[in-house]
Amino acid sequence: MMTFQMLCFLFLFSVFILCDANFSVPYISVNTERLIEDLKILGQFSDGDYPGITRLLYSKEDKAARRYLIALFEKSGLSVSWDPVGNIFARWEGSDPRAPAVASGSHFDTLLNAGLYDGTLGVLGALEAVRSLKEVGFEPKKSIEIVAFTSEEVSRFGIGCLGSRYLVGSLTVEELLKLKDSDGVSFENARQSCGYIEKLRESMIAEDYYSAFVELHIEQYHILEDEGVPIGLVTDIAAPSLYTIEWKGPGGHAGSVPSYERQDPFLAASEFALNLEQLVLKDPKNTRATIGRVEVYPGSAGAIPRSVRLSLDIRDINEAARIKVKEQALEKAAAIARKRKVTMETLHNYSYPPAKMDPRIVEVIEDSCRAHNFSYLKLISRPFHDSLFMATKFPTGMIFIPCKEGKSHVPDEYASPEDILRGVEVLAETLARLSYQ
């Protein structure tokens, strides 16, 4: 026989389920003009001529951008806080503030001479989603929090997703204190010069702090544009392994040493680059390998190089496949070194695990697309994002919108107002639904 208390519990639980089942999001009116104006103003905080944007971590431009974002968040009635590395959090408190929050956001730093939309659209798009929901009278159950991550780009300190990695605990204080930029400025000094004087501590954020994280982003390729589809649902994020390879030889005078006597590390590196291309072309659909940086020493027009150092970035959504390509590439590099009688050294800089997006979050984004009658396409993200690391601790999803000709990290990076509108509408709908799940 059921007790009175059990009957009361079952009644309340059935009412709760019924309310959630009948939950609907009011009509959302996104103010695209306001959002694009915010993007353009943020783009002015740049060490360079607009539209090319350079905003490196803890620079005076970065500091000004932070002040602007915080002012926008506070103007929208959100409570603002930050952690010791400068991740900024703007919270819209829900009716159940003790429940795990729903989060959205991205980064606002850039590479050198980059574009207006990469990262910043995810921060300001999340803000516009919140503003739009507020303006139609929506009241969240779970709190909704915007996260503006510190330094996603591999720029000043040579490390990507610094803020999100710190937040989830995959980047320690010890590792941070070892970082220096190309001018020898330590991360610690740069951080404090930007006003973050709180002592660094290990991130203690719990796995149940966020019930979901959703990132809005431009695609950075042209699949959506080619297919004429407005929304991309990310299912997987490929992750990189980064290596540094250095070949060394005796060098010599450019005029006196004949070609057949040379032990030229530059020719070894060049042969390796061409062989790497052929290796990756065996599986062009999934594997990416890039040599993005080459340093030749001494770099004199009249001397045979004595050393050549290059970066090797290998990416895949399948970690085993990525490891196989790495092994084949390094075996080929060693064989070339032996053939050309140069020495070779390899440094493993880092490897990040690929990430799968949470199926429940993907399903909610699908429902949000259907609610607005938007077609969508499921995609793999070959570039990595803050979501790569957020997915290690929280249920995570990503929404892509098209960008013109797939261009990104360049001044002519562009997303149309119509595509931005659709992306923010889907994001707002998704955040509202997740706040009641």
Alpha-carbon torsion angle 175, 204, 363, 96, nearest 10? -150
pLDDT tens profile 271-287 = 999 999 999 998 888 89
Q: Judge contact between 80 and 89, C-beta under 8 A.
A: yes
- The whole-angstrom separation of Cα 245 and Cα 226 is 37
pLDDT at residue 24, as a whole number: 67
Q: Give the chain's domain count.
A: 2
Assigned token pair, 171: 């980047």
Tell me: do 120 and 207 sit in the same domain.
yes
The verdict on 147 and 87 lying in the same domain is yes
What are the tokens at 111? 């590479």
Q: Which of 53, 85, 88 is nearest to 67 (CA)?
A: 88
Confirm if 165 and 122 have CB atoms less than 8 A apart.
no
- Regarding whether 337 and 376 lie in a shared domain, the answer is no
Helix (H, G, I), strand (E, B) or coil at 289: strand
What band does 11 get if pLDDT is binned at 50, 70 and 90?
A: very low
Tokens 């009635």 belong to residue: 77
Q: Which of 84, 79, 150 is nearest to 119 (CA)?
A: 150
| Residue 258: CATH number of its domain | 3.30.70.360
- Asked if the structure places residue 11 within a domain, the reply is no
Query: Does some domain include residue 388?
Result: yes
Q: Mean pLDDT for the chain?
A: 93
Look at residue 12 in the predicted model and tell me its pLDDT: 38
User: Residue 427: helix, strand or coil by DSSP?
Assistant: helix
Q: Do 247 and 230 share a structural domain?
A: no
pLDDT band at 265 (very low <50, low <70, confident <90, very high): very high
Min mean pLDDT across 23-27, 54-58, 138-142 is at 23-27
E-state strands within 198-337: 210-218, 231-237, 239-248, 252-253, 288-290, 294-297, 303-304, 307-316
Kind and range of the H or E run holding 364? helix 359-371
Same domain, 198 and 256: no
According to the model, what pLDDT value does residue 4 have?
Answer: 45
Contact between residue 30 and residue 132 where contact means Cβ atoms under 8 Å apart: yes
CB atoms closer than 10 angstroms to residue 360: 14
Judge if 261 and 121 occupy the same domain: no
Structural domain boundaries enclosing 270: 239-351
Q: Are residue 264 and residue 341 in the same domain, yes or no?
A: yes
- Asked if residues 279 and 271 have their Cβ atoms less than 8 Å apart, the reply is no
The residue type at 72: L
Say if residue 21's pLDDT is above 50: no
Give 105's DSSP letter: E
The 3-state DSSP class for residue 17 equals: helix
Amino acid 204: pLDDT: 85
Mean pLDDT of 303-308: 98
Return d(Cα 167, Cα 163) in angstroms, integer: 6
Q: Which residues contact 235 (CB under 8 A, 6 or more apart)?
A: 356, 357, 362, 378, 379, 380
Examine the fold and report which residue of 351, 369, 386 is the final residue of a domain before the chain moves on: 351
Pair 189, 329 in one domain: no
Residues 210 and 250 in one domain: no
Using DSSP bridges, classify how beta strands 101-107 and 210-218 pair: parallel, antiparallel or unpaired: parallel
- CATH code, domain with 139: 3.40.630.10
Q: What is the dihedral of CA 48, 54, 55, 57, to 10 degrees?
A: -120
Q: Tokens standing for 385?
A: 């994002």
pLDDT digit string, tens, across residues 36-81: 999 999 999 999 888 899 999 999 999 999 999 999 999 999 999 9
Residue 148 has pLDDT above 60, yes or no: yes
Q: Same structural domain for residues 126 and 102?
A: yes
pLDDT, position 283 = 83
Rounded Cα gap, residues 129 and 41, in angstroms: 18
Tell me the mean pLDDT in the region 305-309.
Answer: 98
* Residue 32 pLDDT class (50, 70, 90 cuts): very high
